[in-house]
Every structure is written in structure tokens, then in C-alpha cells.
Chains A and B, each alone.
Chain A
Amino acid sequence: MSSTHPTVSVSGLRKRFRATVALDGVDAVFAPGVNGLLGPNGAGKTTMLRILATVLPADSGQVEVLGADPDTAAGRLSVRRRLGYLPQEPGFHRQFSAFDFVDYVAILKEWADRRPRHDEVRRVLTLVGLDAVMHKRISQLSGGMRRRVGIAQAFLGRPDLLVLDEPTAGLDPEQRLRFRELLGTEAAGATVLLSTHQTDDVAALCQHVVVLLEGQIRFRGTPADLAAIAAGRVWLSAERDHRAALAWVTGEGRIRHIGDPPAGAQLVEPTVEDGYLLLAGRDAHANAETLAS
């Protein structure tokens, strides 16, 4: 974890929706830099980000964001004034143009004066490469472009805290690269919390990563630490080995295995994805055993 002072911390965080436990006693701290949240669908990532973005209250637990308590009206306002938030599904009105939408969010972010507000709207839309289509209706934009409209509004006013729920979903490889560059330039010094299913994004972007499984944190550390979980447990072979916890065919037509290697296996360097899959697979395996017993 980064040695800088934490800007976001949660302790004993719980949230449930009727019978479903979304977060089950989560403890975590995040410092300035890019912090990644990894986990399968339904692990609680979106719920956690919503709580940290002040859009959902926690059932119980302590939350401190940028020195404020989002459970109070004053604390929530203080956080929102320094926050950029990209929800998983922004849900913008499709009759708006990209400019209209970002301009509308800027008004909600207290940009009262029209000229500086419009300058800022143009700036963020240019940052995400939408300057040529900013007056097109959102309904006429591709999925990737709509995602970039969402990213643009999150960057309004250079926020101190960026909460980005799957920001790279729907972006093509070139756009993902541009997004990484954008974080490097526009979010320098800010605390970025992002959830993703893309382990290569985590490896390329994040200084700190948290793995959330079934509402609980199962790993926290650097991407290198996560990859190291699978050290000595990843091997390649021509045939599938059924003793492996996980196995799949690589692009070269060989079988990549994760698990306890057989004697003489050709071990390879683990990646963040290997570490994550081993962790998630182990968790799923443990759950299956619990259910069986």
C-alpha cells in the first residue's frame, strides 16, 4: 500500500438489500493514486463505490471520505464538492447532446456562471476525444462514446476524488490506452477508486488493489503482490491437466494451468490475472466445499 496519508477509509462497512448481503464488514483504506477494486459480478464493488461516492448510505460501519463523514448532510456536501463520479450505468437522457449532458452535470456541480462552465465542458469533452461530436445527441453516439461522455463529466473541475465504476467497459483498446493517459495527466495527486474486470487495467494503472469476493475483502496490496499469489503455481503444457484448479487454452494453442503443479511442469511468470483467478477460484472452491458439507 502507498505510504501517503489515507484519504478514504472504511471500517466494519455493511450493506444489505433485503436478504442479500452486499458488503459484510469491509475494512479498507485508500491513499492518493489509482486504487483498483477487482471482483466478480455481485461481489459488492458497485455498492462499495456508491457508498464512497455518497450516493448510497451504509447500513453500519465507519466511513471517512476526504476528512468528512458522508452520513451527515454537511459531510456529504463537502465530499460532493470534491468528487467526480462515474456510475456503472450513468443513465443519461438520450435526447441530450453530449455537451448538454455534461453542461447539466456541471450546473449540478455548482458551476453557476455560464462562460467558465462552458469552457470547462469543452475542456473535458476534448480530453476524452469527443470535441468533434459534442453537439450530437447521445442517442446517436456509440456505446464507447457514451462511456466517454460519462468519463468526461466525472473529470469536471479536476476533482480530488474520482470514483469510477468500470470506466473502461465498452472502450476499445486505443480508447483504453487514452483513458490510462488521461488518468496519468488529469488525476495526478487525486485519489482514484476504480472497479474493473480488466486485470490488465489493474496491472497498468493501479498502485494499490483490493479484491472483493462475496462482500468481503480477500486481498489488499500492490498488483505485483496479487500476481505473486500465483508464483510457482502457473504452468504451460500441451495437454490439459485435470489436477489444476483452472486451465484454459492460450492464443498459441497451449494449455495454461493454475494450481498445484505436477513434477517437471514448465512454470511461467504469473500475471495479475493469474493471482486474481487463483484467489477467486480458491474462494469458489471453499464455498463449494462448505455447501457440500
Chain B
Amino acid sequence: MTDAHWHVPPALLARFAGDSGAVDDITAASIDAHLLACADCRRELSAAAAPTLAATSWAAVADRIDRPRSTVLERLLRRLGMRSGTIRLLAATPALQAAGLVVVAVVAVTAGVLSRTAGADGIFLVLAPLVPLAAVAASFASAADPAGEAGVGTPLHGAGLVLRRASAILAVNLGLLGVAALALPDLGPSAAAWVLPSLALALGALALGTWLRAEVAVATLASGWLLTVWSLWWLAGHDVGVADSATFAASGQMAALAAVAAAVIVLVTRRDRFATLEVVR
């Protein structure tokens, strides 16, 4: 309860107005309670407060209110030390969010099925590279950027942004697929034979995307991949499993590595194509 005839001494009020740390907590709470009931002291406080104080305080409150709500992914990336702007560029992209959800679902179902299927390693090795291919393509498809054409005329738009997004989604994909591979019934060195083809297809989609629409590039590479795997298996005479065919042997891995290198060269030489609307038309 406060005394109606008592007023906060001007010197104390000035300290309270200037810096909340200049008065102890109990005194500050008392002044707060008194101010609620005393219009005279509220007027004195307004006069005593630095002109910029209210604006600064309001800016801090408004900033808190206006800060976009963080998703779980954004909070996770922030904990990993990523800057808030970079996090928004990666996590606020709806196409990436959707692609991420699809990947998690596909990998979870795949892992469950594989763990109960004999000889499933061949199926996994064939299908696993298609998952990052689709996800990476989503990161640079025409509808991927939430700022649309307005975003194209900005300094950050271009190959750097596309590769940053592709790297993020590729890292998540490869990690999850790696976990799924652990569910394979016949876990051996060949269980990792999907990694290089995955990289080759994902980077190949970006490289081919400098000539074709993302959707066309993905369809071309996916069908090319399936045709190659089937052809090499068929040429081997059907008496070996898909996992033991040339695609996943040393020669196939070397070919995938060469494809990765070729895709990187194309991306470097044609990076300018990502800077304008030409690549997303």
C-alpha cells in the first residue's frame, strides 16, 4: 500500500528513470507500485526520463513481438551456432521444409521395411540416391524461393544461395540415409555404395539445371540412373544380385566420382546462370 501524500524524491526518480540497475530491486518494485497510484509521480517520471529511453524500450518490445516464430529446425540450427539470417534463408523456405519432411518420412519407412526384408540391400542401393536427388532439386525449383522474382534482384541471390541450400539439405539427407543403411540385414562395406551415386545425381541435377528446368533435370537423371543400374545388372547375366553388379563395384564408384567432378566443373563454369531468372524459367 502507498501513502497518497508521499512522492518519490526527484533524485531517486531520476535514478529510476535513467537506469533500472541504479536502484535495488525492492526500491524499484516500491516505486513501480507507487507509480500505478500517483499521477503526479508519473508526470515527474516522464519529465525525468531521457527522451530516447521510451523509444529504445519500445523498439526492444516491438522487436520481441515482431520476431518471427522459430520452428524446431531454426532453434536447432541456432544452437549449432548459425546466424539468424542464414537460418531464415534455409529454414523459411517452404520447398525445403516440405522436401525435408518427405525425406524423413521416406527414410523412416525404408528403414522399417529393409530391416525385415532379406536381400534388401540391392533395393536400398538403387533407391537411396534418388532421395537426395529429389530433395536437392526442390531447393532450386522455380517455386523454391519464397520471395519469388523480388528475391532475384537481391545481392544474395545466385549460385551461392542455391549451393548453400543444396548443401544443407544434402547433409541432412546423407545423414538420415546413413542411419537407414544401418538397418540393412547384410551390413558390409557395400552398404555405403549409395553415397557417391547420391552425390553424383544431386550435383548432376544442379549442373543439368543450368540448361533444363529442375523438374526435367531430375526426371532425366532419375530415369538415366535406373536404366544404367538395370542395364549393368542385365549385362552381368542375372546370376548376381543388384548389390553385386558393376554399378556398386569399384568401377561404378569410380564412374560416380568422375560424374561428381564433372558436375562440379559445370557448376563452377556456369554459376552465373543461377544469378538471373534464366535458370528458373
Q: Contacts of B63 on A, CB cut-off 8 Å?
A: 114-115, 118-119
Is the beta-carbon distance between A101 and B155 smaller than 8 angstroms? Answer: no
Q: Please encode chain A, from 51 to 83, with 1 for each CB lying within 8 Å of some chain B CB and 0 for all others.
A: 001111100000000000000010011001101
Is the beta-carbon distance between B278 and A108 smaller than 8 angstroms? Answer: no
Q: Please encode chain A, from 77 to 116, with 1 for each CB lying within 8 Å of some chain B CB and 0 for all others.
A: 1001101011101111101110111011101111110110
Our pick among A54, A80, A92 for the contact of B147 (Cβ within 8 Å) is A92
* Measured CA separation A81–B152 after assembly (Å): 12
**15 A–B pairs (Cβ distance < 8 Å), ordered by A:** A50-B277, A54-B276, A55-B152, A55-B276, A56-B278, A73-B272, A80-B153, A89-B149, A96-B146, A99-B66, A107-B85, A109-B155, A110-B156, A114-B85, A118-B67
Is the beta-carbon distance between B150 and A153 smaller than 8 angstroms? Answer: yes
Is the beta-carbon distance between A53 and B88 smaller than 8 angstroms? Answer: no
* Measured CA separation A47–B212 after assembly (Å): 21
* Measured CA separation A109–B153 after assembly (Å): 9
A243 within 8 A of B: no
Is the beta-carbon distance between A56 and B156 smaller than 8 angstroms? Answer: no
Is the beta-carbon distance between A56 and B276 smaller than 8 angstroms? Answer: yes
Give the residue name and chain of the B residue nearest to A89 (CB).
B149
* Measured CA separation A107–B88 after assembly (Å): 8
Is the beta-carbon distance between A109 and B94 smaller than 8 angstroms? Answer: no
Q: Contacts of B89 on A, CB cut-off 8 Å?
A: 107-108
Q: Please encode chain B, from 142 to 167, with 1 for each CB lying within 8 Å of some chain A CB and 0 for all others.
A: 00001111111111110001000000
Is the beta-carbon distance between A53 and B153 smaller than 8 angstroms? Answer: yes
Q: Contacts of A104 on B, CB cut-off 8 Å?
A: 88, 92, 146-147, 151
Q: If the complex has contacts A80-B154, A87-B150, are A100 and B275 also in contact, measured as CB distance less than 8 A?
A: no
Using a CB–CB distance below 8 Å, which chain A residues touch chain B? 50, 53-57, 73, 76-77, 80-81, 83, 85-87, 89-93, 95-97, 99-101, 103-105, 107-112, 114-115, 117-119, 121-122, 134-135, 150, 153-154, 163
**A-B interface, 7 closest residue pairs, ranked by CB to CB distance from nearest:** A91-B148, A93-B146, A85-B153, A108-B154, A87-B149, A55-B152, A80-B155
* Measured CA separation A6–B229 after assembly (Å): 60
Q: Contacts of B157 on A, CB cut-off 8 Å?
A: 80, 108
B117 within 8 A of A: no
Is the beta-carbon distance between B153 and A54 smaller than 8 angstroms? Answer: yes
Our pick among A87, A109, A114 for the contact of B67 (Cβ within 8 Å) is A114
Q: If the complex has contacts A54-B276, A73-B272, A100-B92, are A108 and B156 also in contact, measured as CB distance less than 8 A?
A: yes
Is the beta-carbon distance between B85 and A112 smaller than 8 angstroms? Answer: yes
Can you name 9 extra interface pairs (CB under 8 A) apart from A93-B147, A104-B92, A118-B62? A56-B277, A56-B278, A89-B148, A92-B150, A93-B148, A96-B146, A105-B154, A108-B157, A163-B153
* Measured CA separation A54–B153 after assembly (Å): 6
Q: Contacts of A93 on B, CB cut-off 8 Å?
A: 94, 146-148
